[in-house]
Amino acid sequence: MMTKKIINNYFLSILSLIPIAFVLGSSASLINILIINLSFIFLIIYKSEWGWIKNSNIRILLFLYIYLIFNSFISLDSNLNYLRNFGFIRFIILFAGINYLFYTYKNLDNVFKFWTIIILILAIDVFIERISGTNIIGYGAIEINGVPQPDGRRVMSFFRDEAIVGGFILSFGLIISGFIMSNFDDYNKKKKILFLILIFIIFSSIILTGERSSSVKAIVSFGLFFLLYKNIQLKKKIIFFLSISLFFLLIIFNNDYLKNRFFQQTIVSVKNIGDFFDPNVVFKGTIQSGAIDKELSNSLKPSSDLYIMLYKSGFEIFKNYPYFGVGSKNYRIEACVDKKKYAGIIDNVEKYLCLTHPHQIYFELLSEHGIIGTIIILSLIFILLFRIFKKLYITNNYIGLGCFCYLITFFIPFLPSGSFFSDYSISIFFFNLSIMYASSSETNIFFDSKQK
């Protein structure tokens, strides 16, 4: 009995620590994933439960894995991506492992409550850093003549030098919102108000980070989530969102940095969409470590939008490698060649912009996987996303719907993003995908295998 209790606490602990592992960095999140995977494999071997391998969702993921291995063999430089592509197997095991843990341990409320506490701490920390210039442990200040400048940068919070805290809060915030709304009708009036305030704080913190892409995703995903929630009248939903929109407009217009980020820079980006279609726009410089070098800066129009330039660069590489692209993680190989040396030898070399990836999922996929690879990847992912949507909605599985609303924001056209297959992005994606399936007996792959 004692041994069973220890095992239960062990698995609940490794699930609870997932958000902390992400905050600590890529190495910690990788270790956390490997611990979950190895623990799952040990249990499966010990209990001889192998029926899940025949599950159609696992087969879809295995087909995606086979394609990624194939992609390594046809890449310009397979040394750059073979670890990433072959290592993708860990996400298939993670998907199965989280489904198994949810199948085995029915009452996971304490895990969701712990995640809520962690995300709430991060959200409050965002407020503190936006107001004071530093977070609760002193990260984040930009000083001019010794004076902190709270409005001079995007908020980083505990991530220090990575502008990802808004996207991270969003990835867990919708799961938490789903958990809260699953039992919303059972709460008394005070609890309902308290929990709505909690969701509002989470949503607000994403906007206050100054991350435009994450803010757009938050508006789309939270809007869709509350639209799908059945127990609030449409009229009340409309009034609620109009009130929220007015509130945030007031905040943004009263903060110079946020006003510049969300309005002035966005207007410039929209105006320069035409650069994507202009055949006369070429690139003559490079970007190193996120900074535009002097040569590139001088070659661009003063109003040019760097993301539009990157999208065009990715599309130019796709035109040269239309079927299977240059290979995963190989955009940098093609885009960062010596432009003077290869001018006239490599097509469109002057239209390449040197960076690690095009910073947009569709242009990343097209340039690195071509039209065939892109169709394969997106088709398999969309099958996984949409095949259980009806079940999630009919059964009022709001945790699963929260994950769904977050996951589809990865595929909003033209919205800037990190590299989809980077360790951070793909880990967050598969964590949400796993929870989406695992959170209900109607969709959990182990319940499905038992029924068969």
Q: pLDDT tens-digit profile of 210-242?
A: 888 898 899 999 989 988 998 877 777 788 777
E strand or H helix at 292: strand 291-292
Higher-confidence residue: 17 or 296?
A: 17
Model pLDDT, residue 270: 60
Higher pLDDT, 158 or 354: 158
Task: Report residue 390 as tokens.
Answer: 């009806």
pLDDT confidence band for 303 (50 / 70 / 90)? very low
Residue 286 has pLDDT above 50, yes or no: no
305 vs 57, more confident:
57
CA distance 409 to 383: 16
Predicted confidence (pLDDT) at residue 277 exceeds the cutoff of 70: no
Ordered by start, the domain boundaries in the chain are 51-82+272-387, 88-263+396-451
Residue 296 pLDDT exceeds 50: no
More confident residue, 148 or 427: 427
Q: Choose the weakest-confidence range: 20-34, 63-77, 221-235, 315-329.
A: 221-235
Find the range with the poorest average confidence among 2-16, 35-49, 157-171, 339-353: 339-353
- Across the range 172-178, mean pLDDT stands at 95
* Rounded mean pLDDT, 307-323: 87
E strands in 36-151: 143-144, 147-148
Contact 403, 182 (CB under 8 A): no
**CA separation, residue 172 to residues 33, 63, 199, 281 (Å):** 16, 28, 11, 40
426 CB contacts (<8 Å, ≥6 apart)?
88, 91, 420
User: What is the rounded average pLDDT of the residues 378-389?
Assistant: 96
Indicate the residue type of 298. N
| Residue that has been written with the tokens 């943004």 in this structure | 252
Lowest mean per-residue pLDDT among 89-93, 109-113, 351-355, 407-411? 351-355
Average pLDDT (86-103) is 94
Which pLDDT score is estimated for 71?
A: 94
Contacts of 124 (CB under 8 A, 6+ apart): 201, 205
Number of other CB atoms surrounding residue 255 within 10 Å: 17
Quote the CA–CA distance of 189 and 211 in Å, as a whole number.
Answer: 34
Q: Is the pLDDT of residue 373 over 80?
A: yes
State yes or no: pLDDT of 162 exceeds 60: yes
Give the helix ranges, DSSP H, for 133-255: 165-182, 189-208, 212-228, 234-253
- Residue with the bigger pLDDT between 25 and 263: it is 25
pLDDT for the residue 449: 57
Residue 290: its pLDDT value, please? 39
Residue, of 300 and 71, whose pLDDT is higher: 71
Query: Does the pLDDT of residue 144 top 90, yes or no?
Result: no
Residue 133: left if φ>0, alpha if ψ -120 to 50, beta else—which one? Answer: left
Mean pLDDT, residues 40-56 taken together = 89
pLDDT band at residue 327 using 50, 70 and 90 as cut-offs: very high
**In degrees rounded to 5, what are phi and psi of residue 224?**
-65, -40
pLDDT band (50, 70, 90) for residue 266: low
pLDDT digits (tens, 9 = 90+) for 8-28: 788 888 999 999 999 998 899
Compute the average pLDDT of residues 265-285. 57
Containing 36, the helix (H) or strand (E) segment is helix 26-47
Does pLDDT of 107 surpass 70? yes
Question: Average of pLDDT values for 381-408?
Answer: 95
DSSP-assigned letter for residue 260: I
How many CB atoms sit inside 10 A of residue 228's CB? 17
For the chain, state the CA radius of gyration. 23
Rounded CA-CA distance 348/94 in Å is: 41
Q: How confident is the model at residue 333 (pLDDT cuts 50, 70, 90)?
A: confident
Mean pLDDT score of the chain, rounded to an integer?
82
- Measured N-to-C along each axis, helices 212-228 and 189-208 cross at an angle, to the nearest 10 degrees, of 150
Give the CA distances from residue 427 to residues 201, 421, 433, in Å, rounded to whole numbers and listed in that order. 25, 9, 10
pLDDT for the residue 437: 96
